[in-house]
Amino acid sequence: MSRRPVLRISNPATLEPLDDVECALPEEVPGMVGTARKAQASWGRESPAKRSRLLRRVQDLLAERTDEFAELVSRETGKPLMESLATDVMNALSVGDFAVSRVEHVFRESKVDFGPLSSMMRYMGRSSHLVPRPLGVIGIIAPWNYPLAIPYSQVMMSLAAGNGVVLKPSSRTPLTALRMAEVFKDARLPEGLLQVAVGSGAKIGNALAASGVDRIIFTGQADVGRRIMVMASQRLTPMTMELGGKDAMIVLKDADLKRAARAACWGSFVNSGQTCVAVKRIYIDQSVEDIFVPLLLKEVSALKQGFDLDDPSVSLGAMISEGAVAEMENQLARALEQGAKVLTGGKRPDLKGHFFQPTVLRAEQHMDIVSNETFGPIVALLTFNSEEEAVKLANDSRFALNGSVWTSNAERGREMATSLRSGTITINNVAYTYGLGATPWGGRGESGFGRTHGDAGFEELMERQHVHLDRGKFPSEIWWHPYGQEGMEAMHDFTGLAFNGERDGLLQKLLKARRLMRR
């Protein structure tokens, strides 16, 4: 067997070591899938009500350990404690609550409505039913930016739907995932139902993609998603992919500009901008640019950057690595080459860890900083002259995950929202609906495909088997052997009655069909 590698995990804000974690080996992944599949065989047969009761214990334990998890997330990611509480622990609990409370409704058997054929099917003694069933084992490849909220919500949805899970957390934040798995164990879920495979994406992620799981949920960069998709395609394994974002915030002239500026500050710099739905492009009505921009810069100037779990006023934490900071420097340099102007920030602060100042740029649509993904604390400001132009500019992106419209006219906001491509558009708020478990989450284009959360998310974690019931009222069908002229005529009559509305000689045609079916 190969030598087992070790991950040395450090706090990116202080650079102090946290722990060493042994990795799984790629050759162990199929066994993990097999273990989860064995546990799932009985778990999937449990009623949705029982699964809900057992998973409620997990929710209760996580709620009891809120402070413990918030501190661990902050130490592993370098984010402020407030963000760990609000965007990791609270979001995890919110989606988990939806999963356990909704699964009984989603897993109800339903009867198919045949539409125009309904009367005929009733006469023939036939009905169709959709029977919900778990898929089997779900492979989850999770990112580092929300090391509790994302994997916990996806695991809870998967387990509630009756599946087993093999989770590969980010190699940058495995400690949170391992502690999370202890919660499921302490809640006395079936042994082996949740497996955690720690290791690099290139080795363990690839092994999971090729392992024969029944669906893969991947959250991460588009280029990695493409690689995973190629491997999954060899087994025809379906995928749900939530990739990058370049979220647009449209500020109309009738917006509450002070609230919009506060929202823009938080939406741009939450988690140091390392959020797939962080605000990256702010389109401002030209007539209010001179009012909105100073309001935004005032909000940004008030942010306290650093890391101190005992100081609740720290508002901006670290980036995940030195490479992430260097990438911000490279993107900023390119933006300046193309003519962008720095309004504030743009440097590394005098702090020990991996920090980059919150940066606001005045930019133009053609610039790379506007078109490419920026996973860090840089936001670009642009202007527009009409609502039609604002929609056109916002839609001019390869990404389509999230966005927002700011206006005092709710109906106008709703109308604009339907013209925007993104999977979610929020009116007068930003980047928080991940925590609303009942709402679907996902995008299109290079932001991926499929949905997690909500009923749409459950549909990707289950199959609805079609069961068709014929009560045997007739010994034969019109279209069965032997063929003949009478059968051909009856088939024409049947087609005309069913689809063309041909009601002439209705009784005679029905009797002919009935006679053939009783032969």
Is 307 within 8 Å of 272 (Cβ atoms)? Answer: no
pLDDT digits (tens, 9 = 90+) for 275-327: 999 999 999 999 999 999 999 999 999 999 999 999 999 999 999 999 999 99
Maximal C-alpha separation, the chain: 91
Active site residue 276: yes
Token digits of residue 322: 């030195």
Provide the pLDDT for residue 357. Answer: 98
pLDDT at 226 over 80: yes
Confidence of residue 489 (pLDDT cuts 50, 70, 90): confident
Which one from 23, 28, 83, 276 is the annotated catalytic residue? Answer: 276
End-to-end alpha-carbon separation of the chain, Å? 68
User: Which tokens go with 425?
Assistant: 């558009």
Q: Is 11 helix (H, G, I), strand (E, B) or coil?
A: coil
Residue 235 neighbours by CB distance under 10 Å: 14
Q: pLDDT at position 367, please?
A: 98
Boundaries of every domain in the chain:
28-243+456-464, 247-435, 475-517
Instruction: Examine the pLDDT at 36 and tell me if it is beyond 90.
Output: yes
Q: Kindly report, residue by residue over 464-478, the tens digit of the pLDDT.
A: 999 999 999 999 888
pLDDT per residue as tens digits for the range 137-194: 999 999 999 999 999 999 999 999 999 999 999 999 999 999 999 999 999 999 999 9
10 Å CB burial of residue 120 (0-12, 13-18, 19+) is middle
Yes or no: say if 353 and 13 are a contact pair by the CB < 8 Å rule. Answer: yes
Q: Would you call 28 a catalytic residue per the annotation?
A: no
More reliable by pLDDT, 489 or 397: 397
Using the predicted structure, report yes or no on whether residue 2 has a pLDDT greater than 70: no
Considering the domain delimited by 247-435, tell me its CATH architecture.
3-Layer(aba) Sandwich (3.40)
For the chain, the average pLDDT equals 95
Catalytic-labelled residue, pool 28, 76, 83, 242: 242
28-243+456-464 CATH fold: Aldehyde Dehydrogenase; Chain A, domain 1 (3.40.605)
